[in-house]
Amino acid sequence: MHSKLTGYGPEIEYSPEVINNDYTLGGFARLETLLKNEKSKIQDATLILDAGDFLMGSLFHVAEQKTGFQLHLMKKMGYDYITLGNHEFDFGPETLADILNKAEEKGGYPNIVCSNIIFDKTSKADDKLEKIYDEGKIKPYSIINKNGLKIAVFGIMGIDASNVAPAKKPVKFENPEESAEKMVKLLKSKYHPDLIICLSHSGEYPSPDGKSYYGEDIELAKKVSGIDIIISGHTHVETPEPIKIGKTYIVQTGCYVHNLGEINLNVKNGVITKFNFRLIPVDDKIKGNLEVHNAIEKQKEFINKNYLSKLGLTYLTKIGELTFNLKRDYKNLKNSNLGPFVADADKYYMKEKGINCDFSMVASGTIRENLLKGQRGIQTVPDAFRVMSLGKGYDNIPGYPLAKIYISAKEVKKLSEIIVMSRPKGGDGYLYTSGIKIYINPKKMMLRKVEKIELNGKELDYSKKNKKLYSIAADTYLLSFIGRIKKMSHGLVKIVPKDINGNPVTDMKNQLIDINPNKVGIQEAKEWIALIEFMKSFKKGDENLPVIPDKYKKGDESLVEITN
């Protein structure tokens, strides 16, 4: 759900009190109406479940550490069991513990199950979360009786999810298949449940032909018998029909509260005799629950007062107008126009602050949401924040900070080859750039395709004789991977991030961009702020708001194919 408490795009058009007047999707007020409707049908035989990444992705997550608002709201809405996703660890295990403790002060949070979490006995950095686990407020599994059935619920964190959660340290996660196998064996021998449900933050993907699925949860179902249902998360995939592997059913609802998944089933003698699944759209046909809506509106006031006012903004500050959609489409990343827009915004922001960078980079995986024109095209602060909502800076302000590193001309060539090599793979590692244009011969061998490089319109001499260093601006999350390119390329490519003096960078914190050196400390640059400032720079239209120019209707043009 990624803290999408309000409807998706544009924020200013979301009006859950009224039906059939906007195109927005999602929102907890609408979701609450659906949940109440479903529970009213069979109150004593309803379970409400979530497979992780319920936090992180909107301005609401900014205030969770101080308020515990969303987690307590989820408890009030009737969530029975949830598991942890990688984004629950975006701010580290101790911040997650603070969020849980604050929600507990408000009156509690849903039951959390996670069977493969491993705490570090030698480190104090996860002690607060470990204490919550030891107190039984996070459990490896739980047993519940519903309508005469004994149901076991457990949760796991997947391999990829764990790998993309660097801030989880020193917390680790056991191999999910091994953990699930032990859990099923324990549950069957000790409790003899009628039904075993796994909340798996692992996921699956549709195959290219659209006829099947692949991924961690598919393999989990194949290798671990005895799981009746896998409620899947992490990959943001919608399964309109349940996937059945052996006797295991797998379902996933997509993301961002766009759908509520409903399973209606019968169990007899420990065997599922009926399994019906459907996705219920959470859209403008549903009138939102006013109690939930009003609580969320009050939380917006808290965010305005405690966070946005310090930046001279409010939740509904208008920042620009769209006449077309800016989107990141995983199926067609090359022709997605949002990535180049974000990269240009970063470079523009640096220049406006008097900071030179030769080129900027943005990874598609850190772009979390699209900018949609909707009915009126008006964009506000939360729309921009949702696009680049991940992470937190060293200043505790949300958003990964922008930093700058230096590499040699020869390393720019190597990095360009890596960019070219990664493009066909797509996914989170697809890199968008601003300020660099790469000319390639697609017929040549891997790591030999780049024929020419232009930096800001000038051809780069990437021969050994050019000793000049060139600067790259990107968020700290992306830049941290550049030093790992040697490992990622199996030793074929080595790039050493350097400071302005050519010394190897050992701590990315030392490379943070300071947008106001005249103030004490480092005033960190954030990509969501860069987006806001970039939007404000354009010529105003009829609504007296800056209008995004038509040139951004085009996709990624940083790679040019040439043949000799």
Residue 70: the pLDDT is: 98
Q: Which segments of 423-460 does DSSP mark as H helices, in order?
A: none
Q: What share of the chain has pLDDT > 90, as a percent?
A: 84
Superfamily of segment(s) 317-561: 5'-Nucleotidase, C-terminal domain (3.90.780.10)
Q: Is the pLDDT of residue 564 over 70?
A: no
Predicted local distance difference test score (pLDDT) of residue 482: 83
pLDDT at residue 65 tops 70: yes
CATH T-level assignment (fold) for domain 47-281: Purple Acid Phosphatase; chain A, domain 2 (3.60.21)
CA atoms within 13 A on the CB side of 344: 18
The C-alpha atoms of residue 518 and residue 354 are separated, in whole angstroms, by: 13
Q: Are 129 and 88 in contact (CB under 8 A)?
A: no
pLDDT classification of 543: cutoffs 50, 70, 90: confident
- The model's pLDDT over 424-479, given as tens digits with 9 standing for 90+, comes to 777 888 899 999 999 999 999 988 999 999 999 999 999 999 999 999 999 998 88
The strand pair at 49-50 and 81-82 is best described as: parallel
Q: Rg of the chain's alpha carbons, rounded to an integer?
A: 24
Phi, psi of 344, rounded to the nearest 5 degrees: -65, -40
Q: Please provide residue 157's backbone torsions phi and psi, each rounded to the nearest 5 degrees.
A: -100, 130
How many residues comprise the chain? 564
SS3 string of 319-387? Answer: EEECCCCECCCHHHCCCCCHHHHHHHHHHHHHHHCCCCCCEEEEEHHHCCCCECCCCCCEEEHHHHHHH
Q: How confident is the model at residue 488 (pLDDT cuts 50, 70, 90)?
A: low
Share of the chain above pLDDT 70, in %: 99
**Is 410 exposed, middle or buried (CB count within 10 Å of its CB: 0-12, 13-18, 19+)?**
middle
Q: Identify whether 170 is preceded by a cis peptide bond (ω within 30 of 0).
A: yes
- Residue 89: pLDDT band by 50, 70, 90 thresholds? very high
Structure-derived torsion over alpha carbons of residues 183, 184, 186, 187, reported in degrees to the nearest 10: 110
C-alpha 303/C-alpha 387 separation (Å) is 18
- Cβ neighbours of residue 271 closer than 8 Å, sequence gap 6 or more: none
Please state the rounded mean pLDDT for residues 53-79.
Answer: 96
Q: Is the pLDDT of residue 487 over 80?
A: no
Nearest Cα neighbor of 423 from 327, 527, 561 is: 561
Q: Could you tell me the pLDDT band of residue 208, with boundaries at 50, 70 and 90?
A: confident
User: What pLDDT is attached to residue 178?
Assistant: 98
Looking at the chain, the domain(s) classified CATH 3.60.21.10 span: 47-281
- The per-residue pLDDT for range 502-536, each reduced to its tens digit, is 999 989 999 999 999 989 999 999 999 999 999 99
Query: What does the DSSP 8-state code read for residue 307?
Result: T
What is the pLDDT, as a whole number, of residue 536? Answer: 95
Q: Does the pLDDT of residue 486 top 80, yes or no?
A: no
- What band does 117 get if pLDDT is binned at 50, 70 and 90? very high
* Cα(327)–Cα(207) distance, integer angstroms: 22
Provide the pLDDT for residue 397.
82
- Look at the block and give the residue holding tokens 């911040």: 95
Other CB atoms closer than 10 Å to residue 488's CB: what's the count? 14
In this prediction, residue 489 has a pLDDT band, given cuts at 50, 70 and 90, of: confident
Average confidence (pLDDT) over 352-356: 94
Tokens of 426: 């797509």
Which among 334, 318, 366 is positioned nearest to 477, based on CA atoms?
Answer: 366
Handedness of CA 142, 147, 150, 153 (dihedral sign): negative
What's the confidence (pLDDT) of residue 314? 95
**Tokens representing 461?**
């001499």
Range in 367-376, 389-398, 467-476 with the lowest mean pLDDT: 389-398
Q: What's the pLDDT score for residue 398?
A: 84
Mean pLDDT of 229-250: 97
> Residue 209 is encoded by which pair of tokens?
């032909």
Is 65 within 8 Å of 303 (Cβ atoms)?
no
Query: Residues of CATH 3.90.780.10 domain(s) within the chain?
Result: 317-561
Average pLDDT, the chain: 94
pLDDT band, very low/low/confident/very high, at 357 (cuts 50, 70, 90): very high
Q: Which two tokens stand for residue 55?
A: 């936090």
Q: Which residues pair with 112 in a beta bridge?
A: 82, 138
The pLDDT of 541-558, averaged and rounded, is: 94
